[in-house]
Structure 1
Amino acid sequence: MIQSAVAAVVERRGGVDVLVANAELIRRPIPGHPFEDIPVQEWVSALRVNIQGARCSG
């Protein structure tokens, strides 16, 4: 699936200049509260998903 998507981009646009690996983890949004109110462990979990997800996607 990924190879065919890349092939389609190369065919239509001539290549891939930038590739961004992005992931997100939201366990419980707190509407109206600043991000400082998010517990540290939730930040650690989100960072782990973002960093390890990018590392493992290659």
Structure 2
Amino acid sequence: MPNYRVEFAKEILGVPFTIGAVEIMRARDPDRALRAAELRFARHHGIGDWRERADLATLAERH
């Protein structure tokens, strides 16, 4: 199973600024990795939805 890294960014004046990242060590597919990272990011920040803190979530596969 591949590893994934999801970076969360806040967009200010059209420029994305990374505010956090989550490593997902094993996921069946990219959609599951993204969902797991969104949940982990929200829990880490004590919020209900990751969009309360970030505007963008970017997924990258790592080897």
- Could you say which TM-score interval applies, normalised by the shorter chain? 0.3 to 0.5
Q: Which protein is bigger by CA-based radius of gyration?
A: 1
Task: State the TM-score, normalized to the length of structure 2.
Answer: 0.31
Structure possessing the higher relative contact order (Cα contacts under 8 Å, 6 or more residues apart): 2
Say which structure is richer in helix: 1
